[in-house]
Structure 1
Amino acid sequence: MKLLHERVAAGAPIIGIHDAEDYLRRAIRKRLIVASNQGRLSAGAHDISRAVRVQPSDEKEGAFDLIGGRRNFGRVRELVDLRMPDGGWLFFMAILIPHADGLEVFAYNCERVYSEGASPRWVRFDYNEDGHRNDERGLRAHMHPGNDDLMLPSPILAPHELLDVFLLGGILDAERKTRTKGEPANS
């Protein structure tokens, strides 16, 4: 039987667009502009154009970095570029390698921070580079549900799929009532 991380890696997507700038324009900015027009993203077209870009990668020769906002490890509100209507925000970064069939996703991290009082307060999807400590542990692709020390295996997603998860509300449902408050169930 294949190990979990081998099965996850076998499902890694190849994006059917060959140029990183074209991917940025057709799949990333387009989604962000639509989300802004529909009120699911507070950042406007000017903010999106300024904050979302591709550039040659410093991490991997011949690759491109797709960047959405400033990296904000401290989750400081003043450093936010892609604001959400609930008071939270979005950040993403991916390394894309040109491949014969399109763009290969080499690594990423994509984080959605929710409003004050939300639980979890944030969710981050990571796909670490080859050879990273998490790769050696079999968790190259994982997610953090509101805690940097808690890692759950995750499928490898393309950056536009990650945006769909966060922009379409696929993680937290504001309409849903909290099901547990941490108290043990009555028997």
Structure 2
Amino acid sequence: MVITNIHIRKMTNNDYGFMAKWLSTKEVLEFYGDINSPFSIEQVRKKYEPRVRGEILVLPFIVELDGSPIGFMQYYKLQTEELKELGYLNNEVVIGIDQFIGNPNQFNKGYGTIMVCKFIQLIIKITDAEIIIVDPEVSNERAIRCYEKCGFTKVKTINNDCALLMEFINTKI
């Protein structure tokens, strides 16, 4: 089954309500945040408004299915210290991504794979990314399977062996 009605758009100020709801869901917070610290709309605004305005170099996006928001994605270019920490060369263009589906009822339906594959295409189109990385928790088997379906390969464990560094190599450069 091919789902083509998934669209990725830039996050706006109108999306904070969705984010607060999603970031108060234990299934989302299990791997994206702290399960004991749900977000209020004020906390979402404080964290994401500078990103929406472009004041912070982490670019946020909302994923829509049939015009309704279902998830969040963001990307950022790794800086010198982060490159060094992960073992990349200073002149490599490495983009990190983070994402989640906000409603647990939409887990395990293939949406995540489509989201990530479309996001990779978008990043390659609008940046000079040589490598795109993700770092799921090693226990997040669903995410790891999704990333592998999208062409990511496992590199090594990081963060005291709690996370798995995975990379997608842009062969079009």
* Interval containing the TM-score (normalised by the shorter chain): 0.3 to 0.5
- Give the greater-gyration-radius structure (CA): 1
Flag the structure with higher helix content: 2
TM-score, normalised relative to structure 1 = 0.31
